[in-house]
Amino acid sequence: MAPYMQHAALAGTAIAIAAGLIGYFLVLRSQVFTTDALGHVTYTGAMSGLAFAFNPLLGLFTATVAVAGGFAVLGRRARADDVVIGSTFAWVLGLGALFQRLYTEHHSSGNGRAGATYLFGSIFGISATQAVVSVFICVGVCIAMALMARPLLFASIDEAVAVARGVPVRLLGAGFLIVVGVTCAEAAQAVGALLLLGLVSAPAGAAHRLTTRPFVGLALAAAIAVFSTWAGLLISYLVPRTPPSFAIIGVATLSYLLTFTWRPDARTRRPVAVT
Amino acid sequence: MTLVASVVAVSNGNASWSWNLPGDVRDMFGYPFMVNAFRAGTIVAILGAIVGWYMVLRKQTFAGHTLSVAAFPGAAAATLIGISATVGYFAFCLAAALVIAIASRPSRGRGFSAESAVVGTVQAFVLASGYLFATLYNGLLSGLNNQLFGFTFGITDDQVVTLAAVAVIVLAVLAAIGRRLFFASIDSDVADARGVGVRLLGVVFLLVLGAAAAEASQITGALLVFALLVMPAAVAQRVTARPVAGIMLAVLIGVVATWAGLTMAYYTSYPSGFCITTFAFVAFIAVHRVRARA
Amino acid sequence: MRVGDRLLWHDVNVDVPAGQFVAILGPNGVGKSTLIKAALGVIPLADGEAYVLGEPAGVANRDIGYLPQRRSFDSSLRVRGIDVVRLGLDGDRFGLPWPWSAKNREAGRRVRDVIERVDASSYAMRPIGELSGGEQQRLLIAQALVRDPRLLILDEPLDSLDLPNQSAIAELIRRVCVDSGVTVLMVAHDVNPILPYLDQVIYLADGGAVCGTPAEVITSPTLSALYKTPIEVLRTSDGRLVVVGQPEAPAHHADRHTGQPH
């Protein structure tokens, strides 16, 4: 297997696992669109790096984690208003377009693709170093999620009782958002700022439809994300001119769609008794 | 000067702002593409503000965003098969509106966690498809940015006519159903009882929204439609609750933001979508700051 | 106890003996839920002390089972009833449960046992969002009981249930109280569904509280003295009690979430 393929598979797998795990909780907590906002930030962060001549990955990471931290600190108030959040992050995206224009103005070397690379990912352009870093980061994400999963589940489903039981609900929510920020920064390298929303939504949505056991759901979300990534990479490799991020998101979407045709509790559902 | 050459000259910042307003404006309108940009921008700003006002009222801003996102694969697919991009914009946005209308339950709120997974997936897949089409016709250099972030300086006379025609039709429809729509939006249960036909109105409105989203995408790009669809209306609704005053205010803000944005894009080399969005966003922040302190 | 700048109640001296079924009653807005939260240490008292199970409020929460007010789960929530009960057992522990360990099996057994005790076994495996109000409430009681608490605190658990369910759940709570020796402290706005099972009542008012058996407390003279306004307690022909003349709390309409009046 060619090196670029190895790097893509390695990084892609690590990122998919992380995306699946956080996706399960994002769907549970109705925080899916936080990833949309963070996705916009990854693009603008990367473009700021290009425009102001520092490493775009650095810009991407710091901006994304900083904004995720901002969400974490604001807590409840940050989830208040769709219009405010949507407007703010629309403008942030526009800012990224500005930075991209600034960059292409002053550099003329093969830069027309810069936008596409960060908007739609460039998984086959991941270097060996990037791949190894991704693996380390995603292992960190997995460990953090493994530690947090139980109390976070409690806090997400049953907040009042969790608080009474001494679960640090606010802290967990904030920590979770930081983990989401880190994962989004990673996922942007694989599937891009605009599509990472799909990588966290579709496998997790499918997992929620397939099972009601929380830990099984977590594992399933990660598994479906990994499967989508591998299948997507394979399709992109075999079918010429298919962009890998499209293939990955396509498989994930298809998987989610399939879960709508299978009704797992159809057999066990008994007629509703009037109790 | 040919269209392409003059556009290139402008985007390289050849124009310079001389603080002599009438002189500057005359210079700007010396270029036909600028005139078209202003015409198209104004039409869309008006349409966007009015449709957006209802959209913000009905708390359907996210549906609006998802519909506009569909403009991207629409334009890309149209370019791929060689038909006019305009057709692509409208076809995809209206189709998306129909899909949402059919698939959604009567509840128009933000919805439960399960629904947001669906919307997120659909949005990503739609954008991914656009990327596929763009890759297939090798439009990854300039084409992509134009469709995503707007390129108002390439608007042809035909496009202006189409935008105007569609806007007139849509506004006529809105004028006809406006009062019932308002009733249904703020008090759907009572409206239902009165026989206002809430569900049908909802479907019609989604189609209206699809058309408006397609129009806005051609000015600000598929990703930045918030600037024309949401922000002016959101500002207006914070300032006043009265419908007529609110709509007029929204139109004013949208048009001013568009004009200011286009002017800024002309004199700097910044993308037009960004410029318009910035002015709209400034108005948005100003209103929120003032209100927060009140 | 203050909420915002409003004095909710003062001079409340309450002593609850172990193993009894006690109701906290009073008009709307007097601060019954707030009293509960003070007992849990979630809200601090403005003045005075609260000791629960021999410790200051909040310390002994591990031994308390708590059912907050008006919880219902989103109908699309895809988590099973049994998992919600399990969260009550160890949901506050960090790290993942090891699926094949003896500890995990033991935990599973305890969960199944407590579900059996509340007669919810037939539907515990279904997604909790799909269950009826009464079914959800039984599972939530199981969740509160799974750690074998010494004290069970319930905040208006019968609130959203229909009459047959109310008496069924009330009876269940009584059974738990008697069989397991758990002290039950229950906030209610209507004493009638639980009246046959109560050992004590605490009637809460602005200026204090009265504790005692229902027969002692829910009488016209006692309540009139407590609220400093004429109150009549009437007994209907089927044995229910009706309290007439009870003042509602002053309409400050404090914001429930921040406690700030708006």
Each residue's pLDDT tens digit, C188-219: 888 888 888 888 888 887 767 788 888 888 88
Q: Are A115 and C52 in contact (CB under 8 A)?
A: no
Confidence of residue B137 (pLDDT cuts 50, 70, 90): confident
Work out whether strand C241-244 and strand C232-235 pair parallel, antiparallel, or are unpaired.
Answer: antiparallel
In a domain? residue B247 = yes
Nearest residue in chain B measured CA to CA from A236: B132
Of the two residues B139 and A138, the one the predictor is more confident about is A138
From A183's Cα to the closest Cα of chain C, the distance in A is: 20
Handedness of CA A208, A211, A214, A218 (dihedral sign): negative
Say whether B117 and A256 touch across the interface (CB within 8 A). yes
**Residue B8: is its pLDDT beyond 70?**
no
Residues in chain A, total: 275
CA distance C43 to C198: 27
Band of the pLDDT at C13, cuts 50, 70, 90?
Answer: low
Decide the pairing of beta strands C2-3 and C6-7: antiparallel
Interface test with B, best of C72, C76, C78, C79 (most B CBs within 10 A): C76
pLDDT in tens, B196-255: 677 888 889 999 999 999 998 888 888 888 889 999 999 998 888 888 889 999 999 999
Q: What is the ipTM of this complex?
A: 0.90
C99-144, pLDDT tens digit by residue? 778 888 888 899 999 999 888 999 988 888 888 888 888 899 999 8
Q: Mean pLDDT throughout C33-60?
A: 75
pLDDT at B180: 82
- pLDDT at residue A263 above 70? no
Counting the structural domains of chain B, the total is: 1
DSSP string, A104-122: HHH--SS-TTHHHHHHH--
C56 has pLDDT over 60:
yes
Name chain C contacts of A217, Cβ cutoff 8 Å.
78
What's residue A238's pLDDT? 93
User: Quick check: is B23 in a domain?
Assistant: yes
Q: Does C74 touch chain B (CB under 8 A)?
A: yes
- Partner residue opposite B132 with nearest CB, options A33, A112, A243: A243
Arithmetic mean of pLDDT, B258-272: 88
List of chain A residues whose C-beta atoms are within 8 Å of the C-beta of residue B277: 90-91, 94
The sign of the CA dihedral C158, C163, C164, C170 is positive
pLDDT of residue C90: 82
Q: Which residues in chain A are contacts of B145 at CB distance < 8 A?
A: 97, 100, 115
Burial (CB count within 10 angstroms: exposed 0-12, middle 13-18, buried 19+), residue C163: exposed
Residue A270 has pLDDT above 50, yes or no: no
Which CA distances in Å does A6 have to A49, A245, B272, B293?
Answer: 27, 16, 41, 55
**Is B47:B214 a contact under the CB 8 Å cutoff?**
no
Which tokens sit at B196? Answer: 């206002």
Whether the pLDDT of residue C260 is over 50: the answer is no
The closest of A237, A249, A140, A238 to A186, measured between CA atoms, is: A140
Tally Cβ neighbours within 10 Å of residue B177.
18
Distances (CA, A) of C199 to B179, C12, C19, C22, C191: 60, 19, 10, 6, 12
Identify whether B140 is part of a domain: yes
Say if B91 falls within a structural domain: yes
Greater confidence (C168 vs A265) lies with C168
Nearest CA in chain A to C133: A275
Q: Which residues pair with C56 in a beta bridge?
A: C51
Domain with B34 in it: what CATH number?
1.10.3470.10
The answer to whether the Cβ–Cβ distance between A32 and B118 falls below 8 Å is no
Q: Which candidate from B61, B119, B145 shows the least CB-CB separation from A83? A: B61
Q: Which amino acid is at B118?
A: V
Of the candidates C84, C90, C96, which has its C-beta nearest A215's C-beta?
C96
B11 belongs to a structural domain? no
* Mean pLDDT, all residues of chain A: 87
CATH topology (fold) of A3-194: ABC transporter involved in vitamin B12 uptake, BtuC (1.10.3470)
- Distance CA(C145)–CA(C126), nearest Å, equals 20
Q: What is the pLDDT of residue B19?
A: 67
pLDDT of residue B1: 40
User: Among partner residues B128, B144, B231, which is closest to A246 by beta-carbon distance?
Assistant: B128
Question: pTM (2 decimals)?
Answer: 0.82
Amino acid at B30: G
Domains and CATH numbers, chain C: 2-244 (3.40.50.300)
Tell whether C13 lies on the interface with B, counting CB pairs under 8 A.
Answer: no
Q: What pLDDT was estimated at residue C203?
A: 83
> Is B12 contained in some domain?
no
pLDDT, average across residues C71-99: 81
pLDDT of residue C254: 41
Higher pLDDT, C237 or A189: A189
Bridge-based pairing state of the strands C21-25 and C200-205? parallel
- Compute the distance between CA of residue C252 and CA of residue C262 in angstroms, rounded to an integer: 8
Pairing verdict, β C208-212 and C200-205: antiparallel
Of B56, B116, B278, Cβ closest to residue A83:
B56
State the residue range of the domain holding B209.
Answer: 19-293
